[in-house]
Every structure is written in C-alpha cells, then in structure tokens.
Amino acid sequence: MEIGLSHYLVLSTILFAIGLIGVMRRKNLLLLFFATEILLNSVNVAFAAISHYHGDLTGQMFAFFVIAIAASEVAVGLGLLIVWYKRTGKIDLDMMTTMRG
C-alpha cells in the first residue's frame, strides 16, 4: 500500500484537531503552551509532506522558520509566565480577565 500526500494531510489534520481541543480545554497557561506546540508541529508535518511530494524545498524552509518562531515564542512566553506567577501565584487563564498591569 502506497502512502500518499493525503495520508500525511489527514494525519496533520488529526494532530491539529488535538491541539485545538487542547487550546480550548486548558485553563493552565503552561499546558496551553503545550497545545500551541502541537499546533505548530502538525503544520510542520504538512509542510514537509507537501515539500516531499512536489519535489520542492520551499516547504522545508517554511518548516525551519516555523521552528525558529516556536523557539522564540517559548522563550518570551515563559518569561512572561514567570513574571505573572511571581506577582499572582497562579497561572490560570481566568485570572487574566483584566488588562491592568
């Protein structure tokens, strides 16, 4: 049985749906970050698959930049999270209903 592009796209969709369910379910901000990592990874799979089946390197390039963006997002997000935890003692999403510093 031959594995085609549609197999990879379906897999990527399933992973993206799992990530979305996590984003909607989680209230803890650290676990919300985990769910966003799953979203970015599922899109990377789709990029690599399309890049392979069309014989083009552009998809892999985009996947690299997505990984770079994910790394910097984690650095800044965790820094903000640590500051927030120092101030309030909680990292629940419901505490962030106000924009007051």
Residues numbered 22 to 61 that lie near other proteins (CB under 8 A) are 22, 24-28, 30-31, 33-35, 37-38, 41, 43-46, 48-52, 54-58, 60-61
20 binds other proteins (CB under 8 A): yes
Nearest to 16 by CA among 53, 37, 42: 42
Size of the site for other proteins (CB under 8 A): 79
Judged by CB under 8 A, the chain residues 77 through 96 that form the site for other proteins are 78-83, 85-89, 91-93, 95
**Cα distance between residue 15 and residue 44, in whole Å:** 11
Least distance in Å: CB of 77 to other proteins? 9
C-beta neighbour count of 21 within 10 angstroms: 12
Nearest distance, CB of residue 23 and other proteins, angstroms: 9
Minimum distance from CB of 72 to other proteins (Å)? Answer: 3
CA dist 54 and 9 (Å) reads 14
Residue 33's nearest CA partner among 77, 72, 85, 80 is 77
Is residue 92 helix, strand or coil? Answer: strand
The CB-of-97 to other proteins minimum distance in angstroms stands at: 12
